[in-house]
């Protein structure tokens, strides 16, 4: 059974760095084609893809936030970490992590429940 769970702070101050962790089970980066992505959703708005990290440690970022994002992984812990620097109130959103099986297509087949993050002083 594939599961993903996001964790991190619920409240972050402007200009700080937001660090979120995705802990997953039911699959492994030891398997070719396994990837984890991050997507966010501001309150009442649409989904926005942020970043992806692959089984071979390739990384991809959305263009508009590339300079502020960093994605990494800890294979031994089955975790993926997303960092977003210099946060602003517009970064307030629910952040989801989700799995991609690149061997079948780069769509998100399993999602975490999401974590709501508010940026406010």
Which spans of this chain sit near other proteins (rule: CB under 8 A)?
37, 46-49, 52, 60-63, 96, 98, 104-114
CB of 68 to other proteins, least distance (A): 14
CB of 21 to other proteins, least distance (A): 17
Residue (15 or 64) nearer to other proteins, CB? 64
Residue (1 or 76) nearer to other proteins, CB? 1
Residue (54 or 73) nearer to other proteins, CB? 54
Residue (29 or 96) nearer to other proteins, CB? 96
Angle at 63 between CA 62 and CA 68, to 5 degrees: 80
CB of 57 to other proteins, least distance (A): 16
CB of 54 to other proteins, least distance (A): 12
C-beta separation of 81 from 95 below 8 A: no
């Amino acid at each position: 059974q594939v599961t993903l769970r996001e964790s991190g702070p619920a409240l972050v101050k402007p200009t700080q760095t937001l660090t979120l962790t995705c802990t997953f089970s039911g699959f492994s980066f030891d398997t070719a084609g396994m990837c984890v992505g991050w997507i966010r959703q501001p309150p009442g708005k649409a989904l926005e893809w942020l970043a992806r990290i692959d089984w071979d440690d390739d990384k991809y970022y959305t263009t508009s936030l590339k300079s502020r994002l960093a994605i990494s992984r800890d294979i031994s812990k089955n975790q993926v970490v997303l960092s977003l620097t210099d946060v602003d109130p517009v970064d307030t959103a629910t952040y989801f992590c989700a799995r991609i099986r690149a061997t079948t297509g780069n769509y998100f087949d399993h999602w975490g429940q999401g974590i709501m993050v508010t940026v406010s002083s």
